[in-house]
Structure 1
Amino acid sequence: MVSAQARAEIDRMVAGRREAAARPSSPRTVEQDRRDWEAAARLTVLPKGARFQGVDAGGVKSEWMEMPPVNRDRVVLLLHGGGYSSGSPRTHRKLAANLSRAAFARVLTPDYRLAPEHPFPAGVKDALRAYGWLLDRGVAAGNVVVAGDSAGAGLALSMLVALRDAGAALPRAAVLMSAWTDLTTSSPSHGTNRKLDVQVTRQGLREAGALYMDGRDPADPMASTLFAKLAGLPPLLLQVGGDEVLLDDSRLLAERARVAGVDATLRVFESMWHVFQFHAPEVPEAQAAMNDIAAFIRAQFGD
């Protein structure tokens, strides 16, 4: 049974999809998607007390977000979603503010390079540069939690795998919301949840993945981390909506991580949609997810 607020949001998304389907078909461009999302973000009301500021993080344009009071030694490195071709620190300010409050930490959101102008592995390199900048600024690796939603969650895992392979210091933990871990879109939930997902389609993911990979194999384990060796990664919290086509991208990743000896916690929020956490605190289920993130991070730091 979903809350009235969640039902209203689901109905709104369904109506929007029907309206779009009724319009004369004309393929949307990446530029249009970016402009529309940025325009919508300008209308988003941030939580009271949220403070943000631009910063150059080792050559990667980024943004700090704080919800005081915070422990300034603690940082969440937030890698935004958007199919690797859209999204920015601006589109994710509200999520960053809620993560800052949940983690009692500053949040750094890199404006990493996007496809198709900058295909794989540009985003991975930018995430690594931003993380390295934090360490160079005196932030201990053990005081960093990396977080991401959708493609950003996949990017967070790519970064962790690259750091582990290089023998570098790893963040304390990772929070992965509606993670996109399989660019081949082969997970069973693409079929079982096809009619339930009100936002994401297999075709849309394949198109976004093709832009990101630019002719490379979508099964490359550095991009499709479901196929990567996962041993040695830090504790993971995976949250996913029960109605998502990407449900099994999280479920299978959690299973394989556990087999590899990784502390992986999977939370499936029944009847929820892709990155429903965006709707905290207005939607109770989204706020419950943020509370779950807060508890996970507190546990990692022994708070």
Structure 2
Amino acid sequence: MSIRSTILTFLYRQFVRNRSAGLSVEEILVKVNKVADRVRPIPPNIQLTPVNIGALPGEWTDAGGTTDDVVFYIHGGGYCTMTLKSFRHVAWSMAEKINARVLSFDYRLAPEHPFPAAFDDALAVYRWLLETGVSPEKMVVVGDSAGGGLALAMLLAVRDSGLPLPRCATLVSPWADLTLATSETRPNATRDSMIHCDVLNALAPAYYGEYSPRDPRISPVFGDLHGLPPILIQVGSNEVLRHDAEAIARGIEASAGSVQLEVWKGMPHVWHAIDFIPESAKAISQLARFSRANLARN
């Protein structure tokens, strides 16, 4: 771990994780939304183009790439917060490093729009990409946190519907098991520097509502993980969601699929978005190498 990462994880534990236990959904959203859409200066080589995908707002990020490859990026936020603006800097970093256009979009958020809203929205955007001429052979799906779970659930639905699957996918710190989080079910419950189990247990019911949290469309770790494209999973060694990452990897391996699990020592949740620590760029570079290697396959 870098010195910056070591200091950051200490501060997260003191001022984020330790102050989030016992908060209601409304209190969590108030805290998160204060920093969710912090304005960042857009690099001169980055072009952002708004797009309407039915009723959903989307945005293309272009770094002047030389290919027609596309990254379909699904952001995180516990299914209840964050927007594509929150992760613009991640999108433009992927656009540069993968040499591809990146499509981000805003799915409907709980608790105002519980399941299946976000799930339906992700699948609708994937269909829209195919209908507008994007080749699945030139597409990479990336999702982080709740977006990682949503990306995996979407891939299962794409497979089951008979639609063509993308070339590959990366899941970053995926939240893919929305059942009750305890120290027994989450071995890293006390080690995570950012996320307290109480936060997971507050946000999860707001999303799944009247449905079972074991529904594979909600918690894809309980789904049949056969027949998926190659998948890279990146997670921090102390994350409470390491359980989810390892469960996904085991399920894909048991189904004779292709999966790479990278456990990054000491990294906090979705460190890819923390662009002032060196491990952020390193992780996105590794994601890009995985993507480019699969996009180059005949």
Residue aligning to 1:9? 8
Q: Which amino acid aligns with 2:71?
A: V
Match of 2:277 among 275, 283, 286: 283
Per-residue CA deviation, residues 109-167 of structure 1 (Å, 9 max, x unaligned), is 11111111111111111111111111111111111111110000000011101111111
Determine the C-alpha separation between the residues in 1 that align with 2:119 and 2:43.
Answer: 30
Residue aligning to 1:36? 34
2:20–2:196 CA contact under 8 A, matched in 1: no
- Residue 185 (structure 1) shift: 4.1
- Confirm whether residue 183 of structure 1 aligns to residue 181 of structure 2: no
2:17–2:195 CA contact under 8 A, matched in 1: no
- Residue 271 (structure 1) shift: 0.8
Q: Which amino acid aligns with 1:6?
A: S
Match of 1:157 among 152, 165, 172: 152
Residue aligning to 1:296? 290
- Confirm whether residue 63 of structure 1 aligns to residue 59 of structure 2: yes
Q: Which amino acid aligns with 2:60?
A: W
1:238–1:265 CA contact under 8 A, matched in 2: yes
Q: Which amino acid aligns with 2:284?
A: M
2:84–2:106 CA contact under 8 A, matched in 1: yes
Q: Which amino acid aligns with 1:17?
A: V
Residue aligning to 1:216? 211
Change (3 A) 1:67 1:8: farther
Change (3 A) 1:111 1:187: same
1:47–1:94 CA contact under 8 A, matched in 2: no
Q: Which amino acid aligns with 2:272?
A: Q
Determine the C-alpha separation between the residues in 2 that align with 1:11 and 1:151.
Answer: 24
* Residues 229-244 of structure 1 mapped to structure 2, 5 A cutoff: 229-244=224-239
- Confirm whether residue 248 of structure 1 aligns to residue 247 of structure 2: no
2:111–2:206 CA contact under 8 A, matched in 1: yes
Determine the C-alpha separation between the residues in 2 that align with 1:123 and 1:289.
Answer: 26
- Residue 53 (structure 1) shift: 2.1
Higher relative contact order (CA 8 A, sep 6+): 2
For the residue of structure 1 that corresponds to 2:69, the secondary structure is strand
Determine the C-alpha separation between the residues in 2 that align with 1:287 and 1:77.
Answer: 19
Per-residue CA deviation, residues 68-105 of structure 1 (Å, 9 max, x unaligned), is 2342x211111110000111110010111111112111
Q: Which amino acid aligns with 1:100?
A: A
Residue aligning to 2:50? 54
TM-score (norm 2): 0.92
2:61–2:92 CA contact under 8 A, matched in 1: yes
Residue aligning to 2:122? 127
Q: How many residues align?
A: 296
1:251–1:266 CA contact under 8 A, matched in 2: yes
Q: Which amino acid aligns with 1:270?
A: K
For the residue of structure 2 that corresponds to 1:168, the secondary structure is coil
- Residue 265 (structure 1) shift: 0.6
Change (3 A) 1:187 1:247: farther
For the residue of structure 2 that corresponds to 1:82, the secondary structure is coil
Per-residue CA deviation, residues 225-273 of structure 1 (Å, 9 max, x unaligned), is 0010011111100000001011010012101101102101100001111
- Structure 2 gaps of 5+ residues are none
For the residue of structure 2 that corresponds to 1:92, the secondary structure is helix
Change (3 A) 1:227 1:26: closer
Q: Which amino acid aligns with 1:300?
A: N
Change (3 A) 1:257 1:13: same
* Residues 98-177 of structure 1 mapped to structure 2, 5 A cutoff: 98-177=93-172
For the residue of structure 2 that corresponds to 1:206, the secondary structure is helix
- Structure 1 gaps of 5+ residues are none
Determine the C-alpha separation between the residues in 2 that align with 1:19 and 1:206.
Answer: 15
Determine the C-alpha separation between the residues in 1 that align with 2:155 and 2:144.
Answer: 15
- Residue 49 (structure 1) shift: 2.2
Change (3 A) 1:237 1:69: same
Determine the C-alpha separation between the residues in 2 that align with 1:204 and 1:190.
Answer: 15
RMSD: 2.2
